[in-house]
Amino acid sequence: MGGLTPDGVLAIFDLDLTLIDSRKAIAGSFKRTLRRMGAHMVSEREIYSMIGIPLEQMFRSRIGEEKIKEACKSYREDFAKTFATGTKPMPGTRRMLARLKRSGVKLAIFTTKKTEIAIMVLRHLGLLGSFDAVAGSYGFKPKPNPEAVYFLIKRLGRPNRTVFVGDSPMDVETAKNAGIPCIVVGSGSKERIPHDARGISFIKNIGELDEKEILRALGLE
């Protein structure tokens, strides 16, 4: 036994709007990048609705295909310099992570952010030490491809004892493609996720998550 839970239990988290509120930082960098690229402005609400999808897709409908690589580079450089003023943990995140660590649950992240940027953000917020692994878009196919999920399971857990925790339809699809259950946090995307879908459970906010909720999602309680 690892703490209070069976061995091999792994929780893989999305990052933005699941564990951290980075909306202001993302919107600021996105708008400044559009301005530098001479593209039409979009509202913060529009940007918020896109959070969680790969950055290339966020830019694809706003600028020409030939400028996407340049726009992504510009955005990431801007975000690395400015994210600190617009990023904070979601309420309850720190206590929730500490609670799961004490119970013996392995913790990992799979995000559409570049791995090095995700690590930088987590370190700044004092959250990096809570995680056993961080997987970003560098070196892995983006969500909803489950490649990174398989990597994390092989390294840290077992397929039948792994759950994905996210906030968006993209996270639900990622979990489905990996063949694992998904716990959906109500703090993120407002897109409709069927409440009767198999393998999906819901919590209002990340602070509610505990080892019992994870074991329940896995059918181990």
Q: Quote the pLDDT of residue 56.
A: 93
The tens digit of pLDDT for each residue in 140-199 reads 999 999 999 999 999 999 999 999 999 999 999 999 999 999 999 997 665 667 666 678
Handedness of CA 27, 125, 140, 2 (dihedral sign): negative
Specify the CATH number of the domain 23-86. 1.10.150.240
Rounded Cα distance, 90 and 74, in Å = 27
Structure tokens belonging to residue 64: 């020409």
Q: Quote the pLDDT of residue 138.
A: 83
Task: Evaluate whether 10-20+89-218 and 23-86 have a shared fold.
Answer: no
Topology given in CATH for the domain delimited by 10-20+89-218: Rossmann fold (3.40.50)
* Residue of 23, 29, 25, 26 whose CA lies nearest to 188: 23
Region of 91 (left: φ > 0; alpha: ψ -120 to 50; beta: rest) is beta
pTM for this predicted structure: 0.92
Annotated domain spans of the chain: 10-20+89-218, 23-86
The tens digit of pLDDT for each residue in 42-100 reads 999 999 989 988 899 999 988 989 999 999 999 999 999 999 999 999 999 999 999 99
